[in-house]
């Protein structure tokens, strides 16, 4: 997919990768989202001189292999989005409902909705009760812990290859109004202390459009997102 001998060459070549992601109703695949996410991951991290030459390869289980000068790192990807929200986004991308609409809180316990039920909600576009207190941060932390835990189980199954290091990259599409990461991160760290992923993934990255969170056993670092725009 990409090979680079220097940091400058890496960033130059990342800008040439096709990261277009179609609408959900227009042929979007997991590969589109995975490549979109990993380009931003690589563009936002600070690699050292002795990490090069560097190569990134698309594969399966895990989704990528990052080869550095002295290590091979498997990168597994997942998108954190409620099933109903993904279906709703698909319907909206087909032209249903208003362009501007209310966002509703999501819950891991929310039952699966039928197409007709989602269509009715989209057309009605009624405001939801909204979020109260720190409910945005609590919901986000619970959701991220859930998706991380699911991938830990996947990585433990037969056919999943573990490398020198193994990273998890979460593309964050969880609904939430004005999420405050400074409040939410300690909540997620508490979840990860109880259900630790560190025996499987040495790093867990959570990516949205503005920030890349890097979690490890000792805490969390914040990175500005480099979108690698040509």
- Residue 103: per-residue pLDDT: 83
**What is the model's pLDDT at position 65?**
99
pLDDT of residue 223: 98
Residue with tokens 């940091």: 7
Helix intervals (H) in the chain: 7-14, 30-44, 83-93, 115-124, 135-155, 181-194
Residue 178: its pLDDT value, please?
87
Q: Which residue in 144, 157, 154 sits closest to 192, CA to CA?
A: 144
CA–CA distance, 94 with 73 (Å, rounded to integer)? 38
Domain made up of 2-81+133-224: CATH architecture: 3-Layer(aba) Sandwich (3.40)
Q: Tell me the pairing of strands 64-67 and 203-207.
A: unpaired
User: Edge-to-edge strands of the sheet including 64-67?
Assistant: 2-4, 54-58, 64-67, 72-80, 165-172, 203-207, 211-216, 219-224
3-class DSSP assignment, residue 165: strand
Cα 118 to Cα 88, 102, 104, 110, 127: the distances in Å are 6, 14, 12, 13, 14
Residue position matching structure tokens 């099933």: 83
pLDDT in the model for residue 57? 98
- Contact between 205 and 166 under an 8 Å Cβ cutoff? The reply is no
Query: What pLDDT does residue 128 have?
Result: 78
* DSSP reduced 3-state for 92: helix
Entry pTM? 0.94
Distance CA 38, CA 52 (A): 18
Task: From first to last of the 230 residues of the chain, give the pLDDT tens digit.
Answer: 999 999 999 999 999 999 999 999 899 999 999 999 999 999 999 999 999 999 999 999 999 999 999 999 999 999 999 999 999 989 999 999 888 888 888 889 999 999 999 999 999 988 877 778 899 999 999 999 999 999 999 999 999 999 999 999 999 999 988 899 999 999 999 999 999 999 999 999 999 999 999 999 999 999 999 999 88
Contact 225, 210 (CB under 8 A): yes
138, burial (CB in 10 Å: exposed 0-12, middle 13-18, buried 19+): middle
Q: What is the largest CA-CA distance in the chain?
A: 57
pLDDT of residue 132: 85
**Domain positions in the chain:** 2-81+133-224
């Amino acid at each position: 997919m990409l090979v680079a001998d220097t940091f400058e060459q890496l960033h130059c070549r990342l800008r040439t990768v096709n990261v277009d992601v179609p609408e959900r109703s227009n042929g979007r695949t997991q590969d589109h989202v995975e490549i979109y996410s990993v380009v931003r991951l690589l563009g936002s991290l600070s690699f050292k001189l002795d990490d090069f030459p560097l190569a990134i390869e698309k594969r399966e289980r895990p989704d990528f292999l990052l080869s550095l000068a002295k290590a091979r790192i498997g990168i597994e990807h997942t998108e954190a989005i409620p099933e109903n929200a993904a279906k709703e986004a698909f319907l909206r991308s087909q032209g249903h409902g208003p362009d501007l609409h209310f966002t509703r809180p999501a819950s891991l316990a929310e039952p699966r909705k039928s197409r007709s039920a989602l269509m009715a909600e989209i057309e009605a576009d009624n405001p939801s009760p909204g979020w109260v207190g720190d409910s945005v941060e609590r919901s986000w932390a619970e959701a991220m812990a859930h998706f991380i835990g699911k991938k830990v189980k996947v990585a433990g199954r037969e056919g999943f290859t573990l490398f020198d290091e193994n990273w998890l990259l979460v593309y964050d599409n969880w609904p939430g109004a004005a999420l405050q990461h400074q409040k939410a991160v300690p909540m997620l760290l508490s979840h990860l202390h109880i259900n630790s992923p560190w025996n499987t993934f040495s790093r867990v990255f959570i990516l949205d459009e503005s920030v890349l969170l890097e979690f490890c056993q000792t805490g969390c670092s914040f990175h500005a997102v480099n979108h690698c725009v040509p």
